[in-house]
A and B are shown apart, each in its own frame.
Chain A
């Protein structure tokens, strides 16, 4: 079955097309018939080939039967998730400039297709590991907007009790394993989560096919941890998907200026796993690729490296003046806004009408507003919270001169004990 895995075209305008380099056990084939372009990355207006029909028996009509990638329900779920991501991040910008949140805040505007495309395929027990640009990954995974907003405001009701902040979104309930400030340091953690999955299956003999999805950027792909984990994941055949959100810029460093071979997907086969490039501005294409990668992982066939060509509409963070990026480049990607693209798809294929989509947008607006109100009204952490959570077992603070454990000191729970 032909799928949406596509090869990129080489740099510098060569007219040759590359066959996806992949190990023999890769199920996927090259799909491309467009004329070569000068850009190193595939053009998003290339339409996806037809896939086997996804709608249930009662099709709307023959002309739609052959080309639908999603059902109406799925479409609305995807749309809602992307609108949530966009509205939430827009609200973050507002709140930041109003002095409600502080520090480094990295917004995800423009990249929603990647988060929605992957995470909406996962179950609750699958894990997601992200970077500092993690608000939307947390939301897609199921963490409530209230919990994320409160965390950003530094309130007790935040998902991490206000102790993590923007760059450390964690949720044990939803298996969101963070939120990491240094690039690349989440990838080994994701590898570990995938290792646990394999361990549960093979050592503990449990019925476990949980997968882990690790999100990170183009800058991370020059970092040692990335390569070390590609090696181990392929070696141990771990159920993990490495998702590169290549938005071409690491703060002010262009990907092309910092990488000897900018085609990141190629690095997968070097380690013995399939490497795939996909248009990250198109949620349906991402979803098709994700389906294949997740299924591979669940079947125990090992990891996949997926490079998503995407773009962030805002600066690296709210402190970034974003002066280096070319206006033409920004305009080009703005025209490929993933939300607009999905909306167009839904309407043209009669999966939804304007009214339904407007309802969703309104619902999300209300949700985000409510999240802000909730976060505003929530209390800030008290002094007593200072020393909690440093250790899972607070005996780790040791024994004081009086012979008692420091955590037995009543001032400990007040947060004023000498430790």
Chain B
């Protein structure tokens, strides 16, 4: 069975949902991966659709399924604890700081204030003012300082209070973070994690609603991941800290209060893998971060209309998990990308190119990409709503693609 995810409208309120049942902790080692951190395949005929005909027959359900995307009650998760996404991030960070004394945090208001989104709450009391460093407002310099510290043995987690502020650190992220391992001939590693909230919030205005993943994606030498659930937030945070590569972890302002039950034991999420949210037959919907919830809301409507979408949260924005994505494309032959990035030069644009390049033969229709409008995010609520992709648009797009 696949997961139920309530719509993004619930993001402002506490939302409880059950994530996919965890099969096993994600494997992180080379060489071949045979088992990945994916949902237990639920649909009975999931395996039978290779080489299906190009004419899509819409399955007519026997009855209206009210909660078609629901999972059955998760009886095995008696161990585990429920928390909010920002608490999951904090837990991951704290566990890694306990585990390795070289892990430290630096950013504005991360210490005494506890972080503007409370991700670092309590950490300064526990670890001290040097390990959880309150920096002055100088993104370029403190990002560079984190990089210098990483080169000399520490593992800093650099917080941008809002991802948009990291534009001021672009020099350091592009030139030093991404490049120094290469230009030094492999002598210096830069195991930093650069994280912060981004994305369109609730009428925060243009500058606080930026999506920086599109700007950073071309920088060679960095990895980018986006978390979307408490489970993968904690897992990705831990994986990013443990990685020897510089990793940029994109969080979303509206997702911090999502609630989920996560395992008690130590786990990480593979940085390079995508997450299967809902297996399906008819169409592959690729998404990440907050749009995952818009997609799942649309999925409810779509299922009631008789469609069976496969939803994948790509999670790894750079590099793309072409295996998971490819397998899905080979099964459904139709791709819809739903993202919050701008249309021009966004993650969706790169993903479209990658899919066309690698899986062209498997496509029955052109790859469709729904992105935010190429406008500075307006303040007015109505205008803001129209800049971002809404579930109704997703439903329309799926119907269009599946004709």
A324, chain B: closest CB distance, angstroms: 28
Stretch at the interface among B5-13, B178-186, B228-236, B294-302: B178-186
- The chain A residues found within 8 Å of chain B, CB to CB, are 127, 129, 158-165, 168, 170-172, 177-182, 185, 187-200, 202-204, 224-225, 228-229, 231-232, 235-236, 388-393, 395-408, 419
A405 to B143 Cα, complex, angstroms: 30
Residues of B contacting A177 in the complex (Cβ-Cβ under 8 angstroms):
148, 151-152, 188
How many A-B pairs have beta carbons closer than 8 Å: the answer is: 207
A127 nearest in chain B by CB position: B152
A185-B175, A189-B176, A392-B244 known; A160-B321 Cβ under 8 A:
no
Kindly list chain A residues whose C-beta atoms are within 8 Å of the C-beta of B175: 180-182, 185
Given contacts A202-B130, A398-B321, contact A189 B144 (CB under 8 A): yes
For A164, A182, A192, A200, which residue has the most chain B Cβ atoms within 10 angstroms? A192
**Distance in Å: Cβ of A257 to nearest Cβ of chain B:** 25
Nearest CB of B to A402, in Å: 7
B140 CB–A CB distance under 8 Å: yes
Question: Are the C-beta atoms of B321 and A192 separated by less than 8 Å?
Answer: no
Task: Give chain B interface residues in 153-200, CB to chain A under 8 Å.
Answer: 153-154, 171-172, 175-176, 180-191
Closest to B220 in A: A390
CB of B148 within 8 A of CB of A389, answer: no
A113 to chain B, nearest CB (A): 26
**B131 lies within 8 A of chain A by Cβ:** yes
- Asked if B303 CB lies within 8 Å of chain A CBs, one says no
Q: Write out the residue numbers on chain A whose beta carbons fall within 8 Å of the beta carbon of B144.
A: 185, 187-189, 191-192, 225, 229
Contact yes or no, A195 B188, CB < 8 A: no
The answer on a CB contact under 8 Å between A398 and B138 is no
Assuming the contacts A192-B152, A388-B186, A392-B189, asked whether A399 and B323 have C-beta atoms less than 8 A apart, the reply is yes
Q: Are B101 and A191 in contact (CB under 8 A)?
A: no
- Write the nearest CB–CB distance from A105 to chain B, whole angstroms: 16
The docked-state distance in angstroms from the alpha carbon of A189 to that of B180 is 11
State whether the Cβ of B319 lies closer than 8 Å to any Cβ in chain A: yes
Q: Are B185 and A158 in contact (CB under 8 A)?
A: yes
Most buried by B among A228, A397, A404: A228
Query: 19 A-B pairs, CB-CB below 8 angstroms?
Result: A159-B185, A168-B184, A179-B184, A185-B171, A188-B142, A188-B144, A188-B145, A188-B147, A189-B151, A195-B145, A196-B154, A232-B135, A232-B136, A390-B220, A391-B244, A392-B245, A395-B30, A396-B319, A408-B32
Cβ of B101 to closest chain A Cβ, rounded Å: 6
Chain B hits for A396, CB < 8 A: 221, 223, 243, 245, 271-272, 319
Query: Which B residues are in CB contact (< 8 Å) with A192?
Result: 144-152
- Top 5 closest A-B pairs, CB basis? A192-B148, A188-B144, A398-B319, A228-B141, A160-B185
Give the nearest-CB partner of B31 in chain A. A408
Query: Inside 8 A of A393's CB, which chain B residues have their CB?
Result: 243-245
State in angstroms the CA–CA spacing of A160 and B191 once bound together.
19
Which residues of B are found within 8 Å of A419, using beta-carbon distances?
319
Best-surrounded residue of B152, B191, B243, B244 (most CB of chain A within 10 A): B152
**How far, in angstroms, from A402 to B358 measured CA to CA in the complex?**
11
Measured CB to CB, the nearest residue on chain B to A156 is B185
Inter-chain contacts of A235 with B (CB < 8 A): 136
| B152 with A196: CB separation less than 8 A | yes
A395–B244 Cα gap in the complex (Å)?
10
B33 on the A face (CB < 8 A):
yes
Return B160 CB to nearest CB of chain A, in Å.
15
User: Interface size on B (CB < 8 Å)?
Assistant: 65
Is residue B117 within 8 Å, beta carbon to beta carbon, of the partner chain? no
B381 within 8 A of A: no
Q: How far is the CA of A171 from the CA of B183 in the complex (A)?
A: 11
Q: Are B186 and A225 in contact (CB under 8 A)?
A: no
Whole-angstrom distance between the Cβ of B335 and the nearest chain A Cβ: 14
B319 (CB) vs chain A CBs: closest residue: A398
A171 to chain B, nearest CB (A): 7
The residue from A165, A203, A236 contacting B128, defined by CB atoms under 8 A apart: A203
Q: Who on chain B is nearest to A395 by CB? A: B272
Interface contact B320-A398, CB-CB below 8 Å: yes
A196 touches B172 (CB 8 A): no
- CA of A165 to CA of B179, assembled, Å: 13
Say whether A391 contacts B148, CB under 8 Å.
Answer: no
Contact A389-B130, Cβ < 8 Å, known A170-B187, A192-B146: no
List residues of chain A with CB within 8 A of the CB of B319. Answer: 396-399, 406, 419
Flag whether B322 is at the interface (Cβ < 8 A): yes
Q: Does B115 contact A (CB under 8 A)?
A: no
Chain B hits for A231, CB < 8 A: 136, 138
Contacts of A196 in B (CB 8 A): 148-149, 152-154
* A232–B33 CB distance below 8 A: no
**Chain B residues, CB < 8 A from A193:** 148-149, 151-152
B102 partner residues in chain A, CB cutoff 8 A = 204
Chain B minimum-CB-distance residue to A192: B148
Residue of A nearest to B138 (CB): A228
A15 to chain B, nearest CB (A): 39
- Contact partner of B321 among A172, A181, A189, A399, CB < 8 A? A399
Determine whether B201 belongs to the interface, using a CB cutoff of 8 Å to chain A: no
Nearest Cβ distance between residue A27 and chain B, in whole angstroms? 26
Q: Which residues of B contact A129 (CB under 8 A)?
A: 148
In the complex the two chains form, is A163's CB within 8 Å of B142's CB? no
Docked pose: A392 CA to B320 CA in angstroms: 18
Most A-side CB within 10 Å, residue of B32, B175, B273, B323: B323
Asked if residues B32 and A404 are in contact (CB atoms below 8 Å), the reply is yes
Within 8 Å by CB of A164, from B30, B131, B176, B185, lies B185
CA distance A159 to B223 in the complex (A): 26
B104 proximal to A (CB < 8 A): yes
User: Are B184 and A391 in contact (CB-based, < 8 A)?
Assistant: no
Q: Is A172's CB under 8 angstroms from B181's CB? A: no
| Binary flags per residue of B114-148, CB closer than 8 Å to A gives 1, else 0 | 00000000000000101101011010111111111
Instruction: Check if B323 sits within 8 Å of A401, measured CB to CB.
Output: yes
Check B181 against A389 for contact (C-beta < 8 Å): yes
Question: Is there an interface contact between B140 and A164, defined as CB atoms closer than 8 Å?
Answer: no
Chain B residues whose CB sits within 8 angstroms of the CB of A399 once the complex forms: 272-273, 319, 321-324
Q: Mark B337-368, 1 if CB is under 8 A from A, else 0.
A: 00000000000000000000011000000000
Kindly state whether residue B326 has any CB partner on chain A within 8 Å.
yes
A-B contacts besides A177-B148, A195-B145, 18 pairs, CB < 8 Å: A177-B188, A185-B144, A185-B172, A187-B144, A188-B142, A189-B176, A196-B149, A199-B130, A225-B141, A231-B136, A392-B181, A396-B245, A397-B319, A399-B324, A400-B322, A401-B326, A403-B323, A405-B30
